[in-house]
Amino acid sequence: MNNVLFAFGLTLFAGLCTGIGSALAFFTKKTNTKFLSISLGFSAGVMIYVSMIEIFFKAKDALVAELGLKSGSWATVGAFFGGMFIIALIDKLIPSGENPHEVHSVEDINDKTSDPKLLRMGIFTALAVGIHNFPEGLATFISALQQPSIAIPIAVAIAIHNIPEGIAVSVPVYYATGDRKKAFFYSFLSGLSEPIGALIGYLVLMPFINDFVFGIIFAGVAGIMVFISLDELLPSAQKYGEHHLSIYGLVAGMVVMAVSLLLFI
Integer Cα distance of 140 and 154 in angstroms: 7
What are phi and psi for residue 28, nearest 5 degrees? -120, 140
Q: Is 133 annotated as a binding residue?
A: yes
Q: Is 107 annotated as a binding residue?
A: no
Integer Cα distance of 54 and 32 in angstroms: 32
Q: Is 101 annotated as a binding residue?
A: no
* ∠ Cα 14 17 20 (to 5°): 165
Closest listed residue to residue 151, CA positions, set 251, 250, 225 = 225
Q: Is 232 annotated as a binding residue?
A: no
Q: Is 162 annotated as a binding residue?
A: yes
Residues in the chain: 265
Q: How far is CA 226 from the centre of its chain?
A: 10
Q: Is 66 annotated as a binding residue?
A: no
Binding-site residues:
133, 136, 161-162, 165, 194
Please state the residue numbers annotated as binding site for Fe(2+): 133, 136, 162, 165, 194
Annotated binding-site residues for Zn(2+) read 136, 161, 165
